[in-house]
Amino acid sequence: METVTPYKEIIDVIKASGGEAFKRCFQCGLCDAVCPWNRVRTFSMRKLVREATFGLTDIESEDIWLCTTCGRCPQQCPRDVKQIESGVALRRIATEYGVFPAPVKTIRTISAGLVGQGNPFGEDREKRAAWAEGLSVKPFTEGMEILYFPGCYLSYDPRLKKVARATANILNSAGVDFGILGPKENCCGESIRKAGDEELFKRLAKENIKTFIDNGVKKILVSSPHCYHTFKNEYPEFRVNFEVVHISQYLFELMNEGRLQLKKDYRKKVTYHDPCYLGRHNGIYDEPRGVLKKIPGLEFNEMVESRSDSLCCGGGGGRVWMETQKGERFSDLRIEQALGLGADVLATSCPYCITMLEDSRITMDAAEKIEVKDITEIIQELI
Ligand code: SF4
Ligand code: SF4
Protein backbone atom coordinates (compact mmCIF):
# COMPACT_ATOMS: atom_id res chain seq x y z
CA MET A 1 0.00 0.00 0.00
CA GLU A 2 1.24 3.50 -0.81
CA THR A 3 2.39 5.41 2.25
CA VAL A 4 0.41 8.59 2.75
CA THR A 5 1.97 9.79 6.00
CA PRO A 6 2.07 13.59 5.59
CA TYR A 7 5.01 14.48 7.84
CA LYS A 8 4.85 18.22 7.45
CA GLU A 9 1.12 18.34 8.20
CA ILE A 10 1.59 16.23 11.30
CA ILE A 11 4.19 18.62 12.66
CA ASP A 12 2.02 21.65 11.79
CA VAL A 13 -1.08 20.18 13.37
CA ILE A 14 0.79 19.17 16.51
CA LYS A 15 2.13 22.70 16.83
CA ALA A 16 -1.35 24.14 16.36
CA SER A 17 -2.95 21.67 18.78
CA GLY A 18 -1.06 22.55 21.90
CA GLY A 19 1.94 24.60 21.01
CA GLU A 20 4.98 22.50 21.68
CA ALA A 21 3.14 20.20 24.09
CA PHE A 22 4.57 16.97 22.63
CA LYS A 23 8.11 18.31 22.86
CA ARG A 24 7.79 18.77 26.60
CA CYS A 25 7.62 14.97 27.06
CA PHE A 26 10.70 13.56 28.78
CA GLN A 27 9.64 9.94 28.19
CA CYS A 28 9.03 9.06 31.84
CA GLY A 29 6.41 6.45 30.88
CA LEU A 30 3.91 7.36 33.63
CA CYS A 31 1.20 7.56 30.96
CA ASP A 32 1.77 3.95 29.94
CA ALA A 33 1.73 2.81 33.57
CA VAL A 34 -1.84 4.08 34.10
CA CYS A 35 -3.30 3.50 30.63
CA PRO A 36 -5.99 0.79 30.75
CA TRP A 37 -4.87 -0.57 27.38
CA ASN A 38 -1.79 -2.01 29.04
CA ARG A 39 -4.04 -4.27 31.09
CA VAL A 40 -5.34 -5.98 27.95
CA ARG A 41 -2.67 -5.50 25.25
CA THR A 42 0.38 -3.38 24.55
CA PHE A 43 -0.09 0.30 23.79
CA SER A 44 2.27 3.17 24.41
CA MET A 45 1.13 6.79 24.50
CA ARG A 46 4.76 7.58 25.36
CA LYS A 47 5.87 6.08 22.02
CA LEU A 48 3.08 7.85 20.13
CA VAL A 49 4.23 11.15 21.65
CA ARG A 50 7.86 10.48 20.75
CA GLU A 51 7.04 9.57 17.14
CA ALA A 52 4.79 12.61 16.74
CA THR A 53 7.50 14.93 18.07
CA PHE A 54 9.67 13.95 15.13
CA GLY A 55 6.84 13.82 12.58
CA LEU A 56 7.18 10.04 12.35
CA THR A 57 3.57 9.09 13.09
CA ASP A 58 2.17 6.37 10.83
CA ILE A 59 -1.42 7.57 10.41
CA GLU A 60 -2.33 4.20 8.85
CA SER A 61 -1.66 2.46 12.15
CA GLU A 62 -4.51 1.50 14.48
CA ASP A 63 -2.53 3.01 17.38
CA ILE A 64 -3.70 6.58 16.83
CA TRP A 65 -7.31 5.35 17.27
CA LEU A 66 -6.87 3.42 20.50
CA CYS A 67 -7.01 6.21 23.09
CA THR A 68 -10.46 6.36 24.69
CA THR A 69 -9.72 9.90 25.98
CA CYS A 70 -10.33 8.49 29.46
CA GLY A 71 -8.31 11.26 31.10
CA ARG A 72 -6.07 9.01 33.24
CA CYS A 73 -2.70 9.85 31.70
CA PRO A 74 -3.14 13.65 31.54
CA GLN A 75 -3.79 13.46 35.31
CA GLN A 76 -0.38 11.83 35.84
CA CYS A 77 1.79 13.56 33.25
CA PRO A 78 4.42 15.72 34.97
CA ARG A 79 4.99 17.76 31.78
CA ASP A 80 1.43 18.69 30.76
CA VAL A 81 1.83 17.04 27.37
CA LYS A 82 -1.95 17.22 26.61
CA GLN A 83 -2.09 13.69 25.28
CA ILE A 84 -5.81 13.82 24.42
CA GLU A 85 -5.75 17.05 22.40
CA SER A 86 -2.59 16.05 20.56
CA GLY A 87 -3.88 12.52 19.91
CA VAL A 88 -7.12 13.93 18.48
CA ALA A 89 -5.04 16.19 16.23
CA LEU A 90 -3.44 13.08 14.68
CA ARG A 91 -6.90 11.61 14.04
CA ARG A 92 -7.90 14.83 12.28
CA ILE A 93 -5.09 14.32 9.78
CA ALA A 94 -6.15 10.71 9.18
CA THR A 95 -9.78 11.84 8.75
CA GLU A 96 -8.73 14.53 6.29
CA TYR A 97 -6.83 11.94 4.22
CA GLY A 98 -9.64 9.36 4.61
CA VAL A 99 -7.24 6.83 6.18
CA PHE A 100 -9.14 4.44 8.45
CA PRO A 101 -7.65 1.05 9.42
CA ALA A 102 -10.06 -1.91 9.38
CA PRO A 103 -11.35 -1.76 13.01
CA VAL A 104 -12.08 1.94 12.56
CA LYS A 105 -13.84 1.81 9.17
CA THR A 106 -17.25 2.10 10.87
CA ILE A 107 -16.50 5.79 11.37
CA ARG A 108 -17.47 6.41 7.71
CA THR A 109 -20.97 5.02 8.28
CA ILE A 110 -21.28 6.89 11.57
CA SER A 111 -20.35 10.18 9.88
CA ALA A 112 -22.86 9.56 7.09
CA GLY A 113 -25.61 9.01 9.69
CA LEU A 114 -24.66 12.18 11.52
CA VAL A 115 -24.64 14.24 8.32
CA GLY A 116 -27.91 12.85 6.98
CA GLN A 117 -30.02 12.29 10.09
CA GLY A 118 -28.19 13.98 13.00
CA ASN A 119 -27.53 10.66 14.76
CA PRO A 120 -24.75 8.04 14.47
CA PHE A 121 -27.16 5.19 13.66
CA GLY A 122 -28.53 6.82 10.51
CA GLU A 123 -32.02 6.39 11.97
CA ASP A 124 -34.86 8.58 10.74
CA ARG A 125 -34.60 12.07 12.27
CA GLU A 126 -38.39 12.27 12.41
CA LYS A 127 -38.46 9.30 14.81
CA ARG A 128 -36.17 10.95 17.37
CA ALA A 129 -39.01 11.36 19.87
CA ALA A 130 -40.48 7.85 19.35
CA TRP A 131 -39.00 6.75 22.72
CA ALA A 132 -41.60 8.94 24.45
CA GLU A 133 -44.66 7.32 22.88
CA GLY A 134 -47.41 6.74 25.44
CA LEU A 135 -45.74 9.00 28.03
CA SER A 136 -46.68 12.51 29.02
CA VAL A 137 -43.81 14.34 27.31
CA LYS A 138 -44.42 17.70 25.63
CA PRO A 139 -42.46 19.57 22.96
CA PHE A 140 -40.27 22.24 24.58
CA THR A 141 -41.69 25.75 24.62
CA GLU A 142 -40.07 28.94 25.91
CA GLY A 143 -40.66 29.53 29.61
CA MET A 144 -40.60 25.85 30.60
CA GLU A 145 -38.46 24.99 33.64
CA ILE A 146 -35.98 22.87 31.70
CA LEU A 147 -35.19 21.32 28.30
CA TYR A 148 -34.60 17.56 28.50
CA PHE A 149 -31.97 16.55 25.89
CA PRO A 150 -31.83 12.72 25.89
CA GLY A 151 -29.15 12.48 23.17
CA CYS A 152 -28.76 9.88 20.40
CA TYR A 153 -28.40 6.62 22.34
CA LEU A 154 -31.39 7.27 24.61
CA SER A 155 -33.47 8.33 21.60
CA TYR A 156 -32.80 5.31 19.37
CA ASP A 157 -31.03 2.42 21.10
CA PRO A 158 -33.61 -0.12 22.37
CA ARG A 159 -31.72 -0.74 25.65
CA LEU A 160 -31.21 2.96 26.32
CA LYS A 161 -34.72 4.10 25.40
CA LYS A 162 -35.64 2.55 28.76
CA VAL A 163 -33.41 5.13 30.45
CA ALA A 164 -35.10 8.01 28.59
CA ARG A 165 -38.51 6.65 29.61
CA ALA A 166 -37.40 6.23 33.23
CA THR A 167 -36.13 9.83 33.23
CA ALA A 168 -39.42 11.19 31.86
CA ASN A 169 -41.39 9.21 34.46
CA ILE A 170 -39.22 10.58 37.27
CA LEU A 171 -39.51 14.17 36.01
CA ASN A 172 -43.29 13.82 35.81
CA SER A 173 -43.43 12.28 39.29
CA ALA A 174 -41.45 15.24 40.68
CA GLY A 175 -43.73 17.73 38.88
CA VAL A 176 -40.98 19.18 36.69
CA ASP A 177 -42.22 21.35 33.82
CA PHE A 178 -40.02 20.01 31.02
CA GLY A 179 -40.10 19.53 27.25
CA ILE A 180 -38.04 17.93 24.48
CA LEU A 181 -36.94 19.11 21.03
CA GLY A 182 -37.65 15.76 19.30
CA PRO A 183 -36.69 15.88 15.59
CA LYS A 184 -35.11 19.32 16.11
CA GLU A 185 -32.44 17.76 18.37
CA ASN A 186 -29.07 16.81 16.81
CA CYS A 187 -26.21 14.70 18.11
CA CYS A 188 -24.16 16.91 20.47
CA GLY A 189 -21.06 16.07 18.38
CA GLU A 190 -18.70 15.27 21.27
CA SER A 191 -17.54 11.85 20.12
CA ILE A 192 -17.19 12.59 16.41
CA ARG A 193 -14.95 15.51 17.40
CA LYS A 194 -12.73 13.18 19.47
CA ALA A 195 -12.74 10.79 16.50
CA GLY A 196 -11.15 13.56 14.42
CA ASP A 197 -14.00 15.08 12.38
CA GLU A 198 -13.79 18.69 13.50
CA GLU A 199 -15.91 20.06 10.65
CA LEU A 200 -18.79 17.72 11.39
CA PHE A 201 -18.59 18.59 15.09
CA LYS A 202 -18.84 22.30 14.26
CA ARG A 203 -21.79 21.73 11.99
CA LEU A 204 -23.72 19.71 14.60
CA ALA A 205 -22.86 22.17 17.37
CA LYS A 206 -23.92 25.22 15.35
CA GLU A 207 -27.24 23.60 14.41
CA ASN A 208 -27.95 22.72 18.05
CA ILE A 209 -26.99 26.18 19.26
CA LYS A 210 -29.32 27.81 16.70
CA THR A 211 -32.15 25.50 17.79
CA PHE A 212 -31.56 26.28 21.47
CA ILE A 213 -31.58 30.03 20.79
CA ASP A 214 -34.60 29.92 18.44
CA ASN A 215 -36.59 27.97 21.04
CA GLY A 216 -35.65 30.14 24.03
CA VAL A 217 -33.69 27.39 25.83
CA LYS A 218 -31.83 28.52 28.95
CA LYS A 219 -31.35 25.39 31.06
CA ILE A 220 -30.57 21.93 29.61
CA LEU A 221 -30.90 18.58 31.40
CA VAL A 222 -28.77 15.81 29.87
CA SER A 223 -28.48 12.07 30.46
CA SER A 224 -25.13 11.62 28.75
CA PRO A 225 -21.88 12.86 30.32
CA HIS A 226 -20.68 13.38 26.72
CA CYS A 227 -23.50 15.86 26.01
CA TYR A 228 -22.76 17.45 29.41
CA HIS A 229 -19.07 17.84 28.63
CA THR A 230 -19.52 19.31 25.18
CA PHE A 231 -22.39 21.70 26.07
CA LYS A 232 -20.56 22.93 29.15
CA ASN A 233 -16.93 23.00 28.03
CA GLU A 234 -16.90 23.02 24.21
CA TYR A 235 -20.00 24.96 23.02
CA PRO A 236 -18.67 28.11 24.78
CA GLU A 237 -16.07 28.13 21.96
CA PHE A 238 -19.01 29.45 19.89
CA ARG A 239 -19.56 32.25 22.43
CA VAL A 240 -22.69 30.80 24.02
CA ASN A 241 -23.32 29.63 27.56
CA PHE A 242 -26.30 27.51 28.50
CA GLU A 243 -26.93 26.23 32.00
CA VAL A 244 -26.26 22.48 31.82
CA VAL A 245 -27.26 19.91 34.42
CA HIS A 246 -26.53 16.21 34.40
CA ILE A 247 -29.37 13.91 35.49
CA SER A 248 -27.35 12.65 38.49
CA GLN A 249 -27.04 16.24 39.75
CA TYR A 250 -30.70 16.96 39.04
CA LEU A 251 -31.96 13.84 40.83
CA PHE A 252 -29.86 14.75 43.86
CA GLU A 253 -31.34 18.27 43.82
CA LEU A 254 -34.92 17.02 43.43
CA MET A 255 -34.43 14.60 46.35
CA ASN A 256 -32.87 17.26 48.59
CA GLU A 257 -35.70 19.69 47.83
CA GLY A 258 -38.28 17.02 48.66
CA ARG A 259 -39.77 17.16 45.15
CA LEU A 260 -38.88 13.53 44.44
CA GLN A 261 -40.29 11.09 46.98
CA LEU A 262 -39.34 7.40 47.09
CA LYS A 263 -42.13 5.05 48.15
CA LYS A 264 -40.23 1.73 48.36
CA ASP A 265 -37.02 0.13 49.62
CA TYR A 266 -34.35 -1.33 47.33
CA ARG A 267 -32.83 -4.34 49.06
CA LYS A 268 -29.86 -4.92 46.77
CA LYS A 269 -26.07 -4.62 46.85
CA VAL A 270 -25.08 -1.84 44.50
CA THR A 271 -21.77 -0.48 43.26
CA TYR A 272 -21.19 2.55 41.04
CA HIS A 273 -19.05 2.94 37.93
CA ASP A 274 -17.81 6.54 37.39
CA PRO A 275 -18.10 7.50 33.70
CA CYS A 276 -14.86 9.26 32.61
CA TYR A 277 -16.71 12.27 31.20
CA LEU A 278 -18.75 12.74 34.36
CA GLY A 279 -15.99 12.04 36.89
CA ARG A 280 -12.45 12.72 35.73
CA HIS A 281 -13.38 15.27 33.06
CA ASN A 282 -16.00 17.18 35.07
CA GLY A 283 -15.49 16.32 38.75
CA ILE A 284 -19.01 14.96 39.33
CA TYR A 285 -18.42 12.13 41.81
CA ASP A 286 -20.61 12.94 44.81
CA GLU A 287 -24.08 13.50 43.36
CA PRO A 288 -24.62 10.04 41.78
CA ARG A 289 -23.36 8.44 45.00
CA GLY A 290 -25.56 10.85 46.98
CA VAL A 291 -28.63 9.65 45.05
CA LEU A 292 -27.81 5.96 45.62
CA LYS A 293 -27.05 6.46 49.30
CA LYS A 294 -30.43 8.14 49.85
CA ILE A 295 -32.27 5.00 48.73
CA PRO A 296 -33.62 3.10 51.75
CA GLY A 297 -32.41 -0.51 52.01
CA LEU A 298 -29.70 -0.15 49.35
CA GLU A 299 -26.26 -1.48 50.37
CA PHE A 300 -23.58 0.59 48.67
CA ASN A 301 -20.00 -0.58 48.19
CA GLU A 302 -17.15 1.02 46.23
CA MET A 303 -15.01 -0.83 43.73
CA VAL A 304 -11.24 -0.47 44.18
CA GLU A 305 -10.86 1.76 41.11
CA SER A 306 -13.38 4.50 41.80
CA ARG A 307 -13.77 8.27 41.56
CA SER A 308 -10.65 9.81 39.91
CA ASP A 309 -9.09 6.33 39.60
CA SER A 310 -12.13 4.90 37.84
CA LEU A 311 -11.51 2.27 35.18
CA CYS A 312 -12.69 3.46 31.75
CA CYS A 313 -15.48 1.41 30.10
CA GLY A 314 -13.67 1.66 26.75
CA GLY A 315 -16.38 3.65 24.93
CA GLY A 316 -15.04 7.23 24.93
CA GLY A 317 -13.14 9.00 22.14
CA GLY A 318 -15.44 7.41 19.55
CA ARG A 319 -14.30 3.90 20.60
CA VAL A 320 -17.93 2.95 21.20
CA TRP A 321 -18.21 2.90 17.39
CA MET A 322 -15.01 0.97 16.73
CA GLU A 323 -14.29 -2.72 16.94
CA THR A 324 -12.55 -3.90 20.12
CA GLN A 325 -11.52 -7.54 20.08
CA LYS A 326 -12.74 -9.96 22.70
CA GLY A 327 -10.17 -10.15 25.47
CA GLU A 328 -9.28 -6.46 25.01
CA ARG A 329 -12.43 -4.88 26.44
CA PHE A 330 -11.98 -2.77 29.59
CA SER A 331 -15.66 -3.31 30.39
CA ASP A 332 -14.92 -7.04 30.94
CA LEU A 333 -12.49 -6.06 33.69
CA ARG A 334 -15.09 -3.76 35.23
CA ILE A 335 -17.74 -6.49 35.30
CA GLU A 336 -15.20 -8.78 36.99
CA GLN A 337 -14.51 -6.11 39.63
CA ALA A 338 -18.22 -5.65 40.33
CA LEU A 339 -18.75 -9.44 40.53
CA GLY A 340 -15.76 -9.72 42.88
CA LEU A 341 -17.46 -7.25 45.19
CA GLY A 342 -20.59 -9.41 45.27
CA ALA A 343 -22.73 -6.63 43.76
CA ASP A 344 -26.24 -7.42 42.51
CA VAL A 345 -26.29 -4.21 40.47
CA LEU A 346 -23.59 -2.23 38.69
CA ALA A 347 -25.04 1.27 38.48
CA THR A 348 -23.78 4.04 36.26
CA SER A 349 -24.99 7.18 34.53
CA CYS A 350 -23.79 7.17 30.93
CA PRO A 351 -25.15 5.61 27.73
CA TYR A 352 -21.72 4.53 26.48
CA CYS A 353 -20.86 2.87 29.80
CA ILE A 354 -24.19 1.01 29.76
CA THR A 355 -23.62 -0.12 26.16
CA MET A 356 -20.12 -1.43 26.88
CA LEU A 357 -20.94 -2.99 30.26
CA GLU A 358 -24.14 -4.66 28.99
CA ASP A 359 -22.17 -6.12 26.11
CA SER A 360 -19.56 -7.56 28.49
CA ARG A 361 -22.20 -8.85 30.88
CA ILE A 362 -23.76 -10.85 28.06
CA THR A 363 -20.58 -12.08 26.37
CA MET A 364 -19.13 -13.09 29.77
CA ASP A 365 -22.23 -15.16 30.62
CA ALA A 366 -22.82 -12.95 33.65
CA ALA A 367 -26.38 -11.96 32.76
CA GLU A 368 -27.82 -14.04 35.60
CA LYS A 369 -25.25 -12.82 38.12
CA ILE A 370 -25.38 -9.04 37.87
CA GLU A 371 -27.57 -6.27 36.46
CA VAL A 372 -26.27 -3.12 34.77
CA LYS A 373 -28.53 -0.14 35.44
CA ASP A 374 -28.66 3.58 34.95
CA ILE A 375 -29.41 5.27 38.29
CA THR A 376 -32.70 6.57 36.82
CA GLU A 377 -33.82 2.97 36.25
CA ILE A 378 -33.32 2.21 39.94
CA ILE A 379 -35.18 5.35 41.06
CA GLN A 380 -38.05 4.65 38.66
CA GLU A 381 -38.74 1.36 40.45
CA LEU A 382 -39.16 3.19 43.74
CA ILE A 383 -41.55 6.07 42.91
S1 SF4 B 1 3.57 10.97 31.30
FE2 SF4 B 1 3.91 12.83 30.05
S3 SF4 B 1 6.14 13.21 30.15
FE4 SF4 B 1 5.82 11.10 30.83
S5 SF4 B 1 6.06 9.84 28.95
FE6 SF4 B 1 3.87 10.27 29.16
S7 SF4 B 1 3.54 12.13 27.92
FE8 SF4 B 1 5.77 11.98 28.31
S1 SF4 C 1 -6.31 9.15 27.93
FE2 SF4 C 1 -6.64 7.11 28.83
S3 SF4 C 1 -6.82 5.67 27.07
FE4 SF4 C 1 -5.88 7.60 26.32
S5 SF4 C 1 -3.68 7.15 26.42
FE6 SF4 C 1 -4.26 8.24 28.31
S7 SF4 C 1 -4.68 6.62 29.80
FE8 SF4 C 1 -4.66 5.66 27.76
Give the pLDDT confidence of 285-342 residue by residue, as tens digits. 999 999 999 999 999 999 999 999 999 999 999 999 999 999 999 999 999 999 999 9
The single-letter DSSP state of residue 115 is H
Q: What pTM was estimated for this model as a whole?
A: 0.96
Residue 148: in which H helix or E strand, if any?
strand 146-149
One DSSP character per residue, 276-300 reads TTTTTTT---HHHHHHHHTSTT-EE
Give domain status of residue 1, yes or no.
Answer: no
Asked if residue 344 has pLDDT above 50, the reply is yes
Q: Whose CA is nearest to atom 8 of ligand 2?
A: 35
In angstroms, the CA 146 to CA 14 distance is: 40
Q: Whose CA is nearest to atom 2 of ligand 2?
A: 70
pLDDT for the residue 4: 44
Q: Which ligand is nearest to the CA of 315?
A: 2
Same-domain check for residues 240 and 134: yes
Q: Which residues of 174-199 are buried (b: 16+ CB within 10 A; e: fewer)?
A: bebebbbbbbbbbbbbbbbbbbbbbe
**Among 104, 136, 159, which residue terminates a domain?**
104
177 CA → ligand 2 middle, Å: 40
Q: Which ligand is nearest to the CA of 78?
A: 1
| Domain carrying residue 38 | 7-104
Mean pLDDT of the chain: 94
59 pLDDT tier (thresholds 50, 70, 90): confident
Q: Does residue 34 have its Cβ closer than 6 Å to ligand 2?
A: yes
Radius of gyration of the chain (CA): 21
- From first CA to last CA, the distance across the chain in angstroms is 60
**Among 45, 75, 104, which residue terminates a domain?**
104
Q: Whose CA is nearest to atom 8 of ligand 1?
A: 25
State how beta strands 219-222 and 146-149 pair.
Answer: parallel
Q: Whose CA is nearest to atom 4 of ligand 2?
A: 67
Asked if residue 3 has pLDDT above 50, the reply is no
Protein residues whose CB sits closer than 6 Å to any atom of ligand 1: 25-31, 45-46, 49, 76-79, 81, 83
Share of the chain above pLDDT 90, in %: 86
For range 165-176, the mean pLDDT: 98
Count of Cβ atoms closer than 10 Å to residue 4 Cβ: 13
Q: Which ligand is nearest to the CA of 47?
A: 1
Same-domain check for residues 294 and 367: yes
**Among 104, 133, 157, which residue terminates a domain?**
104
Task: Give the list of residues 6+ apart from residue 320 with CB closer than 8 angstroms, or none.
Answer: 191, 314, 352, 355, 356
CATH number for position 155: 3.40.50
Give domain status of residue 163, yes or no.
Answer: yes
122 CA → ligand 2 middle, Å: 29
Nearest to 329 by CA among 6, 41, 9, 17: 41
pLDDT for the residue 110: 97
Give the pLDDT confidence of 115-155 residue by residue, as tens digits. 999 999 999 999 999 999 999 999 999 999 999 999 999 99
Give domain status of residue 195, yes or no.
Answer: yes
Query: Which ligand 1 atom sits closest to the C-alpha of 49?
Result: 7
Q: Does residue 84 have its Cβ closer than 6 Å to ligand 2?
A: yes
Same-domain check for residues 139 and 170: yes
